[in-house]
Amino acid sequence: MGKPRLTAMATVLMAVALYGCSASDLTGNGSGGGSADDAWTGLLEATKNPADWVTYGGTFDEQRFSRLTAINDKTVARLGAAWWFEFDTNRAQESTPLEYQGVLYVTTAWSKVYALDAKSGKQLWFYDPQVPGEYGAKGCCDVGNRGAAIYDGKLYFGTFDGRLIALDIKTGKPAWSVVTVDQSKTYTITGAPRIVKGKVVIGNGGAELGVRGYVTAYDAQTGKQAWRFYTVPGNPADGPDNAASDPVLKDKAGKTWFGEYWKNGGGGTVWDSIVYDAELDQLYIGVGNGSPWNHKIRSQGKGDNLFLSSIVALNPDTGAYLWHYQGTPGETWDYTHTQTITLATLPVDGKPRKVLMQAPKNGFFYVVDRQSGKLLSAKNYVDVNWASGYDLKTGRPIEKPEARYPKGPVVVTPGALGAHNWQPMAFSPQTGLAYIPGNHALFGYENAGDFQRRDGRWNLGIKSDDTSPPDDPKAVAGIRKMLSGRLIAWDPVRQKEAWGFDYPEPWNGGVLTTAGNLVFQGDTRGNFRAFAADSGKVLWSANVGIPIMAAPITFALGNDQYVAVVAGYGGAYALTSSFNDDPGPRPNGRIFVFRLDAKGTLPKIEKIVAAPANPPAEMFPPAQVTHGRHLYERDCWVCHGPGAISSGVVPDLRRSGALTSAEAWQAVVIDGALKDRGMVSFAKYLSKQDAEDLRAYVADRARLLQQQEGKKPQ
């Protein structure tokens, strides 16, 4: 008689029994008899316990793969709502929650943090770092926060205004706080920190607005800076930056830049992926786009511009450079390489190889030897037209010259939104597939003929006029058909899609996969689905009532396995697209938690009714409207939407109560009356007459909206 087969629940219980007691209690105070080495060992051991989710990517290899199997392809149909919890903000909800010993830790928009009882949803504590509302204007892509880190009695997270804060994990009270950016500049933090050998590592964002990227490590117990690595060189005349990177930047990166690049910051922000390789004791960072985007303006059209659009390996103890792989040399399309970096061992040429995988914005899936940085394979996982492939001897793309928009406007696929943005992908060692939340979105690029840097504003180096959508509904519908999303199950060995699932628009949620042969993902219409990981068959779904962008997690308490996901709309696509499927004011974000046979009821979230169009009575000369349109397309569309068509994440100016009053409009636009809500004064960039011209343009758009809504114009 053979060995008895373990049931799915027995597997869960065995996992809890084997790993439930780690070498160090992560909720302890970190100083009661244990050493820093003990605390680090404790965290490493805790990541091996599938009952908890204690790091951003689930484990240090960031596969977002759970070994729990109670919820599986046979039982998932019994999944029901256990509980849900409403946050106090309706802005972008991008957080991957952490769970440890029955407590969920969730960051929300505006860098707020909740500790919730994982079984009941009861709030245990709440911390608001009081990010100034006016700081919202410094961000490119909303005020979301993607997560936190747990280590030795503390919870660590970054704030949108550039602080790194350590909280007592039991009480939520601050243990220490350090400012990790120059707050006079347009730096922000939206990404999750990582714990690496007793240090907290954090990056930053802000490349579009003209900053110089870097990543910093701090002592986890004291907040003292340990090292800093700059991803792009600074002004050579300023000398060393007292950072571990200086020799590298001078000898390697500095030679790949031309002109006075430092005046525009350079970009290269490390705003998302930071991954520690415990096998090789290496730290990998994903580096973002250039500042400005346009390579011709940024670096005279010359040089690779290291370390933009690269994966860089660092010594985790010192921050010293080890190697790099640059996927998009001389990038000029906002092709960040900050997307999920996932570690695995894969068969390459019939032998096991330690690799890292990435599906960045440029549309190619990379498999890279993580010992040397050598490119092993690269294949486009979506349709692309900027390159025909990669030369594996050089590791460089085979570019199409016209993609760099040398003579006039060029439509490039994928566009600046990226074939894959920040939403995390997952990898299952069980199926051997990577699961990518893909986008199909093109973008038109054209050189800016009269580029002048403006401090604190978007400095892209491309033409910003004509960003508004057409007024013809048929033309709008035609463009809308060009935008879509797809969950892509990708075989990294064969570099081929195994299966896919289509969505009607981009910007769907991050991904979780499990040993129960499942893949979980949410979408922009609030559907939360479970797919068979091997075939893509939809096995279960529930509609939570609001869009889902964040990635789910799973954990176990007692005899039950749970799945949790944060919901709420926002971010780059929501702000900068006029083609959102469900525009209008947004409800507060929420976290939803599910378990087998739960009988809870999902909330009925009523759609918030948008205010009617509110055009003023006065009419404006066409020349004034035209000038207002130029100003709007230069300064306003990245928050309030192209053509003044807002997705509802921020106010729709066509419906604004201030639109009918020149005085009220001036108070907001010039005087900064609403700066605490993120609408800062534009007196630095606009005259009072400019502000009135903007009102003329928005009024024109409001009249068109009024007609479309079937009402008579005033």
Active site residues: 334
The three-class DSSP label of residue 655 is helix
Q: Confirm if 279 and 352 have CB atoms less than 8 A apart.
A: no
**Separation of alpha carbons 127 and 447, rounded Å:** 45
Strand order in the sheet with 214-219: 194-196, 199-202, 214-219, 225-230
Judge whether 79 and 530 are in contact, CB under 8 Å: yes
For the chain, give the number of residues. Answer: 714
Write out the two tokens for 79.
């999944």
Quote the CA–CA distance of 305 and 268 in Å, as a whole number.
Answer: 9
Task: Count CA atoms within 13 Å of residue 248 on its CB side.
Answer: 21
- Give the residue among 467, 438, 460, 461 at the shortest CA–CA distance from 575: 467
**CA distance readout (Å), 380 to 438, 491, 550:** 12, 12, 24
Residue 323 carries which side chain, given as an amino acid letter? W
* DSSP state at residue 477: H
| Contact present, 632 and 698 (Cβ < 8 Å) | yes
Tell me the residue type at 557. L
* Both structure tokens of 13: 């219980």
DSSP state letter for 447: B
β-strand partners of 540? 530
How large is the angle between the packed helices 622-635 and 688-708, nearest 10 degrees?
Answer: 100
Helix (H, G, I), strand (E, B) or coil at 10: helix
Q: Which residues pair with 309 in a beta bridge?
A: none
Task: Please count the CA atoms within 13 angstroms of the CA of 279 that sit on its side-chain side.
Answer: 12
Cβ(524)–Cβ(547) under 8 Å? yes
Contacts of 492 (CB under 8 A, 6+ apart): 344, 346, 355, 357, 365, 367, 377, 427, 432, 433, 434
Q: What is the CA radius of gyration of the chain?
A: 25
C-alpha 335 chain-centroid distance = 14
Specify the DSSP element, H or E, that contains 165.
strand 163-168
Spatial neighbors of 171 by CB under 8 A, at least 6 apart, are 125
